Homo-oligomer: A and B are copies of this chain.
Amino acid sequence: MSLGWWTASYAEDMHQAVAARGRIDKRQAILDAAFTVFARAGYAQAGVDVIAAEAGVAKATVYSHFGDKENLLREAVAASADQALADNLAAVDRLTDRGTDLRATLEGVGLRLLQCYCDDRSWALRRLLSAEINQFPDLLDIIHTRAADRITETLADRLARLTVAGHLHTPDPLLAAEQFFALLCGPMDRRTRLGTRHLPDTELRALSRAAVDTFLQAFAPKRTETT
Contacts and interface: CB of A to CB of B under 8 A. Distances in A.
B218 A190 contact: no
How many copies make up the complex?
A: 2
A178 B190 contact: yes
A37 to B, nearest CB: 11
Contacts of A39: 134
Interface in A164-223: 175, 178-179, 181-183, 185-187, 190, 193-194, 196, 210-211, 213-214, 217-218
Counting chain B CB atoms within 10 Å of each CB, the highest count among A127, A135, A179, A182 belongs to A182
A100 to B, nearest CB: 23
> Chain A interface residue count: which class?
35 or more
Nearest to A217: B218
A126 interface: yes
A134 B190 contact: no
A73 to B, nearest CB: 13
Given A41-B134, A42-B42, A131-B130, A182 B193 contact: no
A42 B130 contact: no
A171 to B, nearest CB: 11
A213 B175 CA distance: 12
**Secondary structure dominating the interface of A:** helix
Nearest to A180: B186
Interface in A113-168: 126-127, 129-135, 137, 140, 144, 148, 152
Contacts of A213: 218
Contacts of A133: 127, 194, 196
Interface in A16-46: 39-45
A40 B133 CA distance: 10
Given A44-B45, A187-B182, A214-B214, A131 B127 contact: yes
Given A133-B127, A214-B179, A140 B190 contact: no
A110 to B, nearest CB: 13
Counting chain B CB atoms within 10 Å of each CB, the highest count among A39, A126, A130, A183 belongs to A130
Nearest to A197: B140
